[in-house]
Amino acid sequence: MPDYGHVIDGVEVESRTGATFASIDPWTQEPWTQVALGDATDAARAVAAARRAFDDGPWPRLSYAERGAILHRLADLIEDHAGELAHADTRDMGKPVAQSRGNDVPRAAHNFRFFADHARLATAAALPMDDRHHVYTRFEPAGVVAAIAPWNFPLMLESWKIAPALAWGNTVVLKPAEDTPISATLLARLASDAGLPPGVLNVVHGYGPDSAGQALTQHPCVNRITFTGESATGRTIARAAAPNLTPLSLELGGKGANLVFADADLGNAVDWSVRAAFTNAGQICLAGSRLFVQQEVFDEFLDRFVVAAETLVIGDPKDPATQFGPLASRAHHRKVFSYLNSIEGEGGTIRTGGPGDGWIVRPTIITGLRPDARHSREEIFGPLVTVIPFSTEEEAVALANDTHFGLNAMLFTDDLSRAHRIAARLDAGTVWVNCFFVRDLRAPFGGVGDSGIGREGGNYSRDFFTEPKAVVIQL
Ligand code: NAD
């Protein structure tokens, strides 16, 4: 048995074949633990367990309050085991422990608490029609949910999918990313301790293509697929789901625009822009990787932005003082490095940054690139940000919208009318004004264009993870 197994029907098991794979610590570049390597057979076992738990088990038939109590207990256990969970994500992907312990794990617990309460309070809508009829809505659980997650916020993004799916009475098969498997098994162990019945939350490890991931997306007994990952993978999954007409929620890539106007509080804009570009070593779908700064303040902003980027503490992600760690894997480092190597050939200048030790790429600020250069258009998913000047509001909006992606945008201005005017014109699922990353879980979250299909959050998650049913009554 490897250190971390699949969790199927409430039991931690190895793969049918006995296959395992190593999880690599990006700081040491060495394996740090062994994990069960699943395939289509293991995925089918997990789906069968989830199906049984849904069709015959208590979970979908419990009251919202009963399910909510168990999910709150799970949130308590996540908080009690915060150190272990944070350590797992930090070793799996090199995320500084200050972030995994300070942000990701508390947010995972909050996701369970929020959706436990939301489901209890948002269960029905009654619509009186006339003297003789009324109609009400029941939100029936959809069934078996396949949740396929990326590696950049492992536990946090997995809980963003699992919490609403469970709160609304579904059963789940989670496939974490192959680079970050450990916190998923830890979560399933805690779920069992919290009183989740067997088969309600299953975890199967493995890869995507020709492996456990693909098998889940093609399985006819899966009723919903919630996927977060690359846009190209989203397209593949949509094709795999089509023969079964399985409904999909796709949260995909991004190339966030960040507009800084001359009237903005520059200190605030610099502060948020550093976080938007370099948190998690830039491995954020929401990263503000295209920065557009109004001509009048371009030089001043750039100077301050460079200084702020250079103060980030780079080092061992296990050290609580570290703010910036290595990229998540050898393959990803190679990809980001190739963008780094081609900056000057494309006419760009590196103002600060460049290669670091091991799999580190230092916070890199680039000027002189055209808006249509590939660094400005493709999702690099690393700590590279292009800074480009603009003159007018019209030009800023055109630059921001000149992308296939549309997950998010940011703008910094002290002109309230301008803020509303531009927010309305930006093609993005979320627009942040004078801030970044601030979330309310009731709000819609998702993207336009290549950034995805559908929205999750609050009632949007409810509508995806249930079959809303109208019951019309004649009195
Ligand atoms: P990825 O698409 O390579 O992999 C994501 C998951 O999909 C992994 O678990 C992988 O094993 C699985 N997978 C891959 N191919 C599959 C297939 N054919 N069938 C089924 N499963 C398959 O993405 P990644 O590199 O892990 O994550 C980075 C990407 O995720 C970036 O593009 C980033 O922008 C995006 N992302 C988006 C959001 C969002 O909310 N929109 C959030 C985080 C990350």
CATH code at position 162: 3.40.605.10
231 Cα to the center of ligand 1, angstroms: 8
Ligand 1 contact via 178 beta carbon (within 6 Å): yes
In a domain, 1, yes or no: no
Rounded distance between C-alpha atoms, residue 293 and residue 299, angstroms:
9
CA distance to 8, 353, 447, per residue, from 15 (Å): 11, 43, 36
Ligand 1 contact via 450 beta carbon (within 6 Å): no
- Backbone angles phi and psi of 33, in degrees to 5: -165, 165
Rounded distance between C-alpha atoms, residue 385 and residue 376, angstroms:
8
Indicate whether 49 and 134 sit together in one domain: yes
308 Cα to the center of ligand 1, angstroms: 30
Ligand 1 contact via 408 beta carbon (within 6 Å): no
Ligand 1 contact via 249 beta carbon (within 6 Å): no
The pTM assigned to this predicted structure is: 0.97
| Residue 28: per-residue pLDDT | 98
230 Cα to the center of ligand 1, angstroms: 5
| CA-closest residue to ligand 1 atom 42 | 285
Ligand 1 contact via 25 beta carbon (within 6 Å): no
150 Cα to the center of ligand 1, angstroms: 4
In a domain, 440, yes or no: no
Ligand 1 contact via 34 beta carbon (within 6 Å): no
In a domain, 438, yes or no: no
Q: Which sequence positions are flagged as catalytic? A: 251, 285
In a domain, 446, yes or no: no
| Residue 344: per-residue pLDDT | 94
Q: What is the 3-state secondary structure (H, E, C) of 83-152?
A: HHHHHHHHHHHCCCHHHHHHHHHHHHHHHHHHHHHHHHHCCEEEEEEECCEEEEEEEEECCEEEEECCCC
Indicate whether 243 and 278 sit together in one domain: no
Indicate whether 224 and 275 sit together in one domain: no
| CA-closest residue to ligand 1 atom 17 | 208
Cα 8–Cα 10–Cα 14 angle in degrees, nearest 5: 40
Q: What six digits make up the tokens of 159?
A: 């809980």
Residue span of the structural domain in which 325 resides? 257-433
233 Cα to the center of ligand 1, angstroms: 6
Strand 430-433 relative to strand 257-260: parallel, antiparallel, unpaired?
unpaired
From the CA of 240, give the closest atom in ligand 1.
19
Indicate whether 264 and 248 sit together in one domain: no
Rounded distance between C-alpha atoms, residue 430 and residue 453, angstroms:
14
We report the CATH number of the domain holding residue 300 as: 3.40.309.10
CA-nearest of 94, 215, 108 to 151 is 94
Return the DSSP state at 456.
B
Cβ 112 vs Cβ 120: under 8 Å: no
Return the DSSP state at 62.
S
Q: Is the ipTM of this complex over 0.95?
A: yes
Ligand 1 contact via 237 beta carbon (within 6 Å): yes
CA distance to 241, 283, 312, per residue, from 359 (Å): 36, 13, 17
Cβ 467 vs Cβ 143: under 8 Å: no
Indicate whether 33 and 49 sit together in one domain: yes
Indicate whether 194 and 335 sit together in one domain: no
341 Cα to the center of ligand 1, angstroms: 25
Strand 133-141 relative to strand 466-474: parallel, antiparallel, unpaired?
antiparallel
Top mutation candidate among 21, 35, 148, 153 for ligand 1, by most atoms within 8 Å of CB: 148
| CA-closest residue to ligand 1 atom 13 | 208
Top mutation candidate among 285, 381, 408 for ligand 1, by most atoms within 8 Å of CB: 285
CA-nearest of 213, 103, 153 to 381 is 153
| CA-closest residue to ligand 1 atom 23 | 229
Strand 361-367 relative to strand 349-355: parallel, antiparallel, unpaired?
antiparallel
Q: What is the pLDDT along the chain (475 residues), one digit of tens a residue?
A: 899 999 999 999 999 999 999 999 999 999 999 999 999 999 999 999 999 999 999 999 999 999 999 999 999 999 999 999 999 999 999 999 999 999 999 999 999 999 999 999 987 788 899 999 999 999 999 999 999 999 999 999 999 999 999 999 999 999 999 999 999 999 999 999 999 999 999 999 999 999 999 999 999 999 999 999 999 999 999 999 999 999 999 999 999 999 999 999 999 999 999 999 999 999 999 999 999 999 999 999 999 999 999 999 999 999 999 999 999 999 999 999 999 999 999 999 999 999 999 999 999 999 999 999 999 999 999 999 999 999 999 999 999 999 999 999 999 999 999 999 999 999 999 999 999 999 999 999 999 999 999 999 999 999 999 999 999 999 9
DSSP three-state, residue 12: strand
DSSP three-state, residue 57: coil
DSSP three-state, residue 287: coil
In a domain, 24, yes or no: yes
Please classify residue 264 by burial: count the beta carbons closer than 10 Å to its beta carbon, then call 0-12 exposed, 13-18 middle and 19+ buried. Answer: buried
Rounded distance between C-alpha atoms, residue 202 and residue 7, angstroms:
5
In a domain, 406, yes or no: yes
22 Cα to the center of ligand 1, angstroms: 19
| Residue 116: per-residue pLDDT | 98
Rounded distance between C-alpha atoms, residue 103 and residue 90, angstroms:
12
| Residue 124: per-residue pLDDT | 74
Q: How many domains does the chain have?
A: 2
Ligand 1 contact via 456 beta carbon (within 6 Å): no
- Partners of 249 in beta bridges: 226
DSSP three-state, residue 238: helix
Ligand 1 contact via 21 beta carbon (within 6 Å): no
Rounded distance between C-alpha atoms, residue 465 and residue 224, angstroms:
7
Indicate whether 280 and 143 sit together in one domain: no
320 Cα to the center of ligand 1, angstroms: 28
The CB density around residue 165, as the number of other CB atoms within 10 Å, is 28
266 Cα to the center of ligand 1, angstroms: 34
Ligand 1 contact via 179 beta carbon (within 6 Å): no
From the CA of 177, give the closest atom in ligand 1.
9
| Residue 122: per-residue pLDDT | 83
| Residue 125: per-residue pLDDT | 80
Indicate whether 112 and 233 sit together in one domain: yes
| Residue 147: per-residue pLDDT | 99
Indicate whether 87 and 179 sit together in one domain: yes
In a domain, 442, yes or no: no
Rounded distance between C-alpha atoms, residue 143 and residue 152, angstroms:
27
Indicate whether 28 and 159 sit together in one domain: yes
DSSP three-state, residue 254: coil
Ligand 1 contact via 214 beta carbon (within 6 Å): yes
Top mutation candidate among 157, 178, 230 for ligand 1, by most atoms within 8 Å of CB: 230
In a domain, 58, yes or no: yes
Ligand 1 contact via 175 beta carbon (within 6 Å): yes
Indicate whether 240 and 289 sit together in one domain: no
Element at 388 (helix H, strand E): strand 384-390
Rounded distance between C-alpha atoms, residue 339 and residue 375, angstroms:
7
Cβ 469 vs Cβ 140: under 8 Å: yes
Counting Cα atoms < 13 Å in the Cβ hemisphere of 59 gives: 30
Indicate whether 14 and 121 sit together in one domain: yes
